[in-house]
Amino acid sequence: MKFIYKLFLVSLIVAIGACDTDLDLQQDPNSVAPENASINDLFNSIQLDFGDAFNAAQASGGRMSRMYHMGSFTYQANTSPSAFNFLWQRAYADLFPDIDALLELTEANGLDVHSGIVKTMKAYVLMALVDNLGNVPLSQAGQGTDLISPTADNGADVYAAAVALLDEAIGQLSSTSAAGPSNDFYYGGDASKWVKAANTLKLRAALTTRLVDSGAGSTVSSIVSSGNFISDISDDFQANFGSQRTNPNSRHPLYNNHYELGDGDYLSNYYMWLLRADKERENGSQLIDPRIRYYFYRKVDASYGLDPTVYSCLLGLPESVDDTRFTPGHWEAINPRIPYCVAWDDGYYGRDHGNGSGIPPDGPIRTSYGLYPAGGSFDDNSFTDTRQAGTTGGQGAGIFPIMLSSFVDFMRAEAALTLGTGEDARALLESGIRKSIAKVQSFESLDAATIDRTVVNERTGEETNIREVYVPKAEDIDEYVNYVLAEFDGGDATAKLNAVMKEYYIALWGNGLEAYNLYRRTGMPLGMAPTEEAAPGDFILSFFLPASHVNRNANANQKTLTERVFWDDGSARTY
């Protein structure tokens, strides 16, 4: 990820890299002594690296949880010991040393808002490292040549240290009159919003560890009772992108992936189907998710009847979503309703989970990322190619959804159902859905030219605009919400939790880490798409330690992919 400020940081490094020619120096002349660093520039660097770390931490889990397409036939082939080298470098070589250097400066000068912000960021990344990798170094890390082979700390201890950092951050942010940073990309230096973010990350930690922490319910209840957490869209913790294409490219990486000239990644057929056709009315028609035209952009209006050579169906090309002749036999036991090869027949075309076959010339028909969260295009049934050198839609001005108010409502609903916190899970489920839809619809201004475009209404023959034809109305949203609530009301305890987890999973679009965590924590949503192959190997419960760490650290030993992180007690069903 490259934010617009990255080049400014490069200029900074060049400027401060000038050194004295005295050959008797005891300090590296190309390094910056903390007392000589610019607080604002160092803070910029930390923010950029934090965004990079979030993206690196969420991608692989998103593929495991079917949010993104997994392009390998087996789980193990989907990853390697080098997969997390980038996250490791961002965390241990860039982000954490910069945070330590900044804290020396800010705490010496009473800049408590700066300190609280970077401690919150460090806490999040520490938890994300554990969530993906298990045990990682902390207590012996960051000592340079004094200790070049730090040992790993238990994941539970790293989580505890992260929560302690959050407590420190909350204390500093809550009791200071110091000015916040003027270049805060997230909350504009508003200490009160950072307090809400830090408290919410504590709530997240408690819920994530609820299977192994008997005090998790009390922690959640205490934070909720305080009222000082992310509860409104205006509080959302997100990284914001710009629309500049070059010098530097400040756009969302998913926009770059699909709106330049390359084909872009395959989207997950299962995830698209979940929004397009999972929910059925009593008359058999599909209840389409109100967010679908914001999440995905279709390049074609039909998924079948095209040149057979552009498809990647391994067993044969179905003629419709109801054609099951080629559906893998093992799908029947998981969820026979999921169509094979395509997501749905009206142009939603990606790839099935675990399809690692060769790439046919299907770039012109692949469904693209949409307006939310990538800053792409709203799907207005124009069915045009998105590969237009980054000139269409929201031009990449999207977000990384790190922790949104809708997420918090779903977490609270889960806690109510599993930890007995006493809250109304049904009301929180409804609130989470409505907040998620409102958040997504707030992106309309990024592609106003499309949404306000004049069209002819096919039913009436009258001139209108895209907003009137394709933007969901209040009654559409109400129908969706009422459908989900009816499922919740009619289900047993498992069905109620599944209803919450499915809606949380849908709202998480763009945050694969939370999707991966909820799946390992609950085994839900139930009936998720199986892999293309009947025997894909063991599901990845945590990823390999980075090769860059294992190969250079005498105290590091590689782990297995079936090793559970400390908070996963194995009670949830995974496949």
- The CATH number linked to 137 is 1.25.40.390
**Count of domains for the chain:** 2
185 falls within a domain: yes
For residues 29 and 21, is the Cβ–Cβ distance under 8 A?
no
For residues 262 and 386, is the Cβ–Cβ distance under 8 A?
no
Radius of gyration of the chain from Cα atoms?
24
Q: Are strands 296-297 and 368-369 parallel, antiparallel or unpaired?
A: antiparallel
Same domain, 195 and 298: no
B/e letters for 66-100, b = 16+ CB within 10 Å, e = fewer, are: bbbbbbbbbbbebbebebbebbbbbbbebbbebbe
CATH assignment of the domain containing 429: 1.20.120.840
State the distance between the two ends of the chain, measured CA to CA, in whole angstroms.
31
Same domain, 178 and 287: no
Print the domain residue range for 373.
253-522
Same domain, 367 and 502: yes
531 falls within a domain: no
> What one-character DSSP code corresponds to residue 403?
E
* 529 token code pair: 């798409």
For residues 296 and 348, is the Cβ–Cβ distance under 8 A?
yes
Same domain, 361 and 475: yes
Which of these, 133, 207, 97, 225, lies nearest to 163 by C-alpha position? 207
367 falls within a domain: yes
Sign of CA dihedral 90, 190, 221, 439: negative
The rounded distance, in Å, linking the Cα atoms of 301 and 312 is: 18
* 543 token code pair: 């990823």
Task: Please report how the helices 39-64 and 112-133 are oriented relative to each other, as an axis angle in degrees rounded to 10.
Answer: 20
Same domain, 437 and 406: yes
Q: What's residue 14's pLDDT?
A: 30
Same domain, 169 and 285: no
Indicate the helix (H) or strand (E) that contains 240.
strand 237-240
Q: Per residue of the chain (575 residues), what is the pLDDT tens digit?
A: 433 333 333 333 333 233 333 333 344 444 445 555 689 999 999 999 999 999 999 999 999 999 999 999 999 999 999 999 999 999 999 999 999 999 999 999 999 999 999 999 999 999 999 999 999 999 999 888 889 999 999 999 999 999 999 999 999 999 989 999 989 999 999 999 999 999 999 999 999 999 999 999 999 999 999 999 999 999 999 999 999 999 999 999 999 999 999 999 999 999 999 999 999 999 999 999 999 999 999 999 999 988 888 998 999 999 999 999 999 999 999 999 999 999 999 999 999 999 999 999 999 999 999 999 999 999 999 999 999 999 999 999 999 999 999 999 999 999 999 999 999 999 999 999 999 999 999 999 999 999 999 988 777 888 999 999 999 999 999 999 999 999 999 999 999 999 999 999 999 999 999 999 999 999 999 999 999 999 999 999 999 999 999 999 999 999 999 999 999 999 997 65
- Bridge partner list, 351: 268
The rounded distance, in Å, linking the Cα atoms of 106 and 116 is: 10
Cβ count within 10 A of residue 297: 27
52 falls within a domain: yes
* 250 token code pair: 């400040």
Residues 306-309: contacts with CB within 8 Å, 24+ apart? 306/365, 309/360, 309/361
pTM, rounded to two decimals: 0.93
